[in-house]
Chain A
Amino acid sequence: MWIELAHFATIIALLLALLQIATPIIGVGIQRPVWIRVARQSSYVVTLLLTLASAGLVVSFLNHDFSVKYVAEHASRSLPTFYLVTALWGGHEGSLLFWAWLLSLFTTIAVWRHWSTHASSIPWILSVLGTVISGFLILVLFLSSPFERLTNPPFDGRDLNPLLQDPGMVFHPPFLYIGYVGFAIPFAFAIAALINGRITDEWILATRRWTLFSWAMLTTGIIFGAYWAYYELGWGGYWAWDPVENASFMPWLVATAFFHSVMVQERRRMFKIWNLFLIITTFALSLLGTFLVRSGVLSSVHAFASDPGRGVYILIFMAIILLFSFGLLVLRADRLRTEVQLESLFSLEAAFLFNNLFFIIAGLTVLLGTLYPLAVETLSSAKVTVGAPYYNKVFVPIMLGVLILMGLGPLLTWRGINGSRLRSSLVKPLGISVLGMAGCYLLGVGQPYAILMVGLSLFAIAAHLTDLGRGITRRMTNAKEGILTATVTLLTRNKRRYGGFVVHFGILMMAAGFVGSGLFQEEKNLIMAPGDFTAIDHWRLTFEKIVTVKGSNWEAQEAIIRVEGPRGLTMTLHPQKRDYQNQQMPTTEAAIFSGFFEDLYVVLGDAVTDNTWAFRIYRNPLVSWIWGGSGVMALGVFFSLLQGRRREVSRQ
């Protein structure tokens, strides 16, 4: 019953979304605003209907309605209620519906907020977003329907893939989707600006918060994915350069380039075509990600259901959107030429230019690495994979370059800085950086990259703090404020700038985590019988026994391991091998001790004989800095979002 209601709501939503594409175009054509208002109301109703549809699917899960194929494949009677709800996006069909629902919700918010401030853009925004929603709804309704019923319903469902029964996985997809979908709004604004042909900076001001918000969500989503891979997959790492991971990383890289270069357009009226290119590419890459994941052209650990018919459809849909938007950009580009030239290599503009260059090269690297196996397989039918060594070779130098720029940023000014001022502001950060590197070397760090990373990070931190200190002293002398008042006013008056600083600190923390765990991981594989002990660095582990434990829908073998660490630290770790009742795949539950400086990570392998077991033990330095850094980063974005628009956008 519920599922039919959901199905019906989705059909009506598709019809209204199609109306939302057509009526604004007609309205603009015949100059009748009432047509545009029809599209606005449709977009509101689409949101309501898709909310109903998603709710219908969730209720079917809660009712254990296994006659619904999607429910039968992704739930079981013993699945905890929490996962019954989140199973909505646990599979291919449901996550597409979820995507469409999010997009409709964002459309409604965008239209509601920008209706009177951006009247000339709104019709095109409605049309563009209507097109994207329709594209997804057609896919949901005709090619991968979550509403399908089974003629022979099983008594119990197949259960949610056990790997997905994890809190990390519950939050990974929605954050990622919110990020992807969020970029649709700036994309629609950009297209509207291109169609109107009056390309002011309005679209950039209007979408600043959308971009930042989506970027933060995408970052958080990626980090949740990494966190899940680390805690659930049990291979001791968090990132594998898998095509599907790359699919989320590419839009991230381009979006990062975008909101840096946007600042140049705001201040200096440069990079106009470039910014349009970047936002279109960001959204195109979000779609590409969906295509890669959902069509099955690439084999990946994220082995999703695939179907050639679906692939053809997504490809056509993507081709229409890509060719239309890039074509439009090419057609309108000549109207956008800027007269402004770079005045100095030592200016913020130039720094942002290099920043963009680095991020775009990084993006292209990932794109090539992702597409290369596809090209080889298509042209020669051989299977190849591109792995970490390729990416590391390119990424390490690029990230070092980005770090240098991050440090230089606060020291530079728009339109160029004179040499002596630059030299004087470089002294302190450079000094601190050199001292830090020397300290590392003396402490016995042998890895040149690690030393360089420490130096560059210290340089960046010192540069940011120098800038902050300068701002505070200026306020103290000019406004005669005390140090505390000066700091607070400075921060609250420039939320956007200092929010950005906090984001940079978060990124630096994450970078420390990547370098620490990437370069200094220790791994040990061994077979132990109860009573055996082993050591990894300063940890001493004793394998006491194996016990059997039971959860609501699984049974596991659990090793009890007593650990003695540095400074008298003792604890017991419980790595498990779980068998879920309705699935054939056993899962490993790694036991992890997360410390401030390092993680101890223990994986229970198979039984070798009746009394001995295989173990993998890792010491992963600084991994928790990655998770912590992403939190700091999110705080920075939040702080930055609090700032209102720099100036009221004039009513058109």
Chain B
Amino acid sequence: MKNLWKVILLVSVMTILALFALGLENDPRNIPSPLVGRPASPFSVPALDDGPPVTLESYRGRWLLVNFWGSWCISCRSEHRYLMKLARMTADRRDFAMIGVDFKDTRDGGKEFLASLGDPGYRQAFDPDQKIAIDWGVYGAPETYLVDPEGIIRHKQVGPLYEGWFEKIALPIMEKKP
């Protein structure tokens, strides 16, 4: 009994360490969004490149990845390379499309961003007053939503997408629901 405190001390230290080790699996970015599982708020807004308006409705029937970005956002720069790759990689998929939403930005700033870092080729909506961003509950950039063929938001990614994100996060969600 005299040495009980030693056992208690070491066991508690190890329990706390073990708890942290397990806790590292938790993703703090994985903040449950109240909008996941709800229909995405529809929009039809001018495109960044002066083309025809970008309309959410027109993507019905396909899985849609919506990426919110701005030329003022440093993390969007580091994410951009993956978006380019993902667009190339999924170009053949008929069930999947991507769009970007350049928000709280100037038209020149957004165009300049794509000109210098490369244009991934998908449509870009232009949302200078953050109308879409507010409706969709965006609170930072970059943020990315995965919308199912019925127009329901299925996933929200806060922060930049990373190498392997599509296979690890998006595909399992897309395959779960036919």
- Whether A582 contacts B72 by the Cβ 8 Å rule is yes
Instruction: Mark each residue of chain B from 4 to 48: 1 if its CB lies under 8 Å from any CB of chain A, else 0.
Output: 001001100110110111111110110110000000000000000
Please measure, in the bound complex, the distance between the C-alpha atom of A371 and the C-alpha atom of B19, giving whole angstroms.
Answer: 9
Please measure, in the bound complex, the distance between the C-alpha atom of A374 and the C-alpha atom of B72, giving whole angstroms.
Answer: 34
- Whether A327 contacts B10 by the Cβ 8 Å rule is yes
A474 interfacial contact with B, CB 8 Å: no
Residues of A within 8 A of B116 (CB): 152
B140 interfacial contact with A, CB 8 Å: yes
Residues of A within 8 A of B114 (CB): none
Per a CB cutoff under 8 Å, which of B19, B77, B104 touches A375? B19
Residues of B within 8 A of A557 (CB): none
A148 CB, nearest partner CB in chain B, Å: 10
Per a CB cutoff under 8 Å, which of B23, B32, B74, B139 touches A73? B74
Q: Chain A: which residue is nearest B71 at the CB level?
A: A154
Q: Given contacts A306-B29, A582-B72, could you give 16 more A-B pairs where the C-beta distance is less than 8 Å?
A: A152-B116, A154-B77, A158-B74, A288-B16, A295-B24, A303-B28, A311-B24, A315-B21, A322-B13, A323-B13, A326-B13, A327-B10, A374-B19, A374-B23, A584-B104, A584-B139
- Whether A378 contacts B73 by the Cβ 8 Å rule is no
B117 interfacial contact with A, CB 8 Å: yes
B172 CB, nearest partner CB in chain A, Å: 16
Per a CB cutoff under 8 Å, which of A152, A277, A319, A375 touches B117? A152
Residues of B within 8 A of A584 (CB): 104, 130, 139-141
- Whether B141 contacts A308 by the Cβ 8 Å rule is no
9 A-B pairs with CB atoms under 8 Å apart are A297-B24, A297-B26, A303-B28, A306-B28, A318-B20, A326-B10, A330-B9, A381-B26, A584-B141
Please measure, in the bound complex, the distance between the C-alpha atom of A433 and the C-alpha atom of B67, giving whole angstroms.
Answer: 65
Per a CB cutoff under 8 Å, which of A150, A157, A291, A330 touches B77? A150
- Whether B28 contacts A297 by the Cβ 8 Å rule is yes
Binding site for A on B (CB under 8 A): 6, 9-10, 13-14, 16-17, 19-26, 28-29, 31-32, 72-74, 77, 104, 116-117, 130, 139-141
By secondary structure, the A interface counts as helix
- Whether A315 contacts B24 by the Cβ 8 Å rule is yes
- Whether A377 contacts B26 by the Cβ 8 Å rule is yes
Size of A's binding interface in residues, CB under 8 A:
40
In chain A, positions 187-240 with a C-beta closer than 8 Å to chain B are: none
Please measure, in the bound complex, the distance between the C-alpha atom of A495 and the C-alpha atom of B73, giving whole angstroms.
Answer: 55
Instruction: Mark each residue of chain A from 449 to 481: 1 if its CB lies under 8 Å from any CB of chain B, else 0.
Output: 000000000000000000000000000000000
A161 CB, nearest partner CB in chain B, Å: 11
Please measure, in the bound complex, the distance between the C-alpha atom of A274 and the C-alpha atom of B117, giving whole angstroms.
Answer: 60
Residues of B within 8 A of A623 (CB): none
Residues of A within 8 A of B104 (CB): 584
Residues of A within 8 A of B10 (CB): 326-327, 330
B142 CB, nearest partner CB in chain A, Å: 12
- Whether B17 contacts A378 by the Cβ 8 Å rule is no
Per a CB cutoff under 8 Å, which of A73, A296, A315, A329 touches B17? A315
- Whether B20 contacts A315 by the Cβ 8 Å rule is yes
In chain A, positions 134-159 with a C-beta closer than 8 Å to chain B are: 150, 152, 154, 157-158
Q: Chain B: which residue is nearest A273 at the CB level?
A: B5
Given the known inter-chain contacts A73-B74, A154-B77, A326-B13, please indicate yes or no for A308 contacting B19, CB distance below 8 A.
no
B69 CB, nearest partner CB in chain A, Å: 12
- Whether B28 contacts A299 by the Cβ 8 Å rule is yes
Per a CB cutoff under 8 Å, which of B14, B16, B28 touches A296? B28
A333 interfacial contact with B, CB 8 Å: yes
